[in-house]
Amino acid sequence: MTPLARIALFIDGANLFSTAKALGFDLDFKRLLHEFQSRGVLVRAFYYTATFEDQEFTSIRPLTDWLSYNGFTVVTKTLKESTDASGRRKVKGSMDIELAVNAMEIADRVDQIVLFSGDGDFRSLVEAVQRRGVRVTVVSTISSRPPMIADELRRQADVFTDLLELKPQVSRETSGPRERPRAVP
């Protein structure tokens, strides 16, 4: 008998939200958590999102509160606002570095990392944790037009899972009362 795999989830919140939206469904994070708990020992489930500093309540707040009370480690960062030379407001809030640092820190304590993102910037991270003996599954989609995953990330992953394949296990039920907030970035 082989021991259960130790798994860590890394969810790029904005990217996963966009992917599910492109596929036409809402995620149920409780079901997502249960799905991966059934696949091994879930060591940690990280959720990354950027937030506005000056807003006490934002649309993402109910989701992040729910996630933090229900088994997820929520990592947030304040969005940076600036104005470009032509006077247009720009907002920047990438969580890539935080996700990469956390993945490298936990790599020696897990057998598998499941990355919910299609961002090609994560290709080097995937390669680095693979060198440490960690298998990496990337969850995104090629079913949308255009695909939501960078080709180089999909090729680097040990396993690519199209989010559409997980829809029956992780989508929100459309009938009955809602148990948790709607997934937003």
Say which residues have a Cβ less than 8 Å from residue 137's Cβ, sequence separation at least 6: 112, 113, 114, 115, 157, 158, 159, 160, 161
Q: How far is CA 110 from CA 5, 13, 37, 131, in A?
A: 8, 21, 14, 13
Query: Residue 40 pLDDT > 90, yes or no?
Result: yes
Query: Residue 182 pLDDT > 60, yes or no?
Result: no
CB atoms within 10 A of CB 93: 17
Sort strands 135-140 and 112-116 into parallel, antiparallel or unpaired: parallel
Instruction: Give residue 144's pLDDT.
Output: 93
Query: Residue 8 pLDDT > 80, yes or no?
Result: yes
Q: Buried b vs exposed e over 57-91: b needs ≥16 C-beta within 10 Å?
A: eeebeebbebbeeeebebbbeebeeeeeeeeeeee
pLDDT-based confidence at residue 83 (cuts at 50, 70, 90): confident
* CA-derived radius of gyration, the chain: 17
Calpha distance 9→80 (Å, rounded): 26
Backbone angles phi, psi at 42, to 5 degrees: -80, 105
DSSP string, 52-113: -TT-SS-TTHHHHHHHHHTT-EEEEEEPEEEE-TTS-EEEE---HHHHHHHHHHHGGG-SEE
Instruction: Give residue 117's pLDDT.
Output: 97
**What's the CATH class of domain 6-170?**
alpha beta
pLDDT in tens, 106-154: 999 999 999 999 999 999 999 999 999 999 999 999 999 999 999 999 9
pTM, 2 dp: 0.86
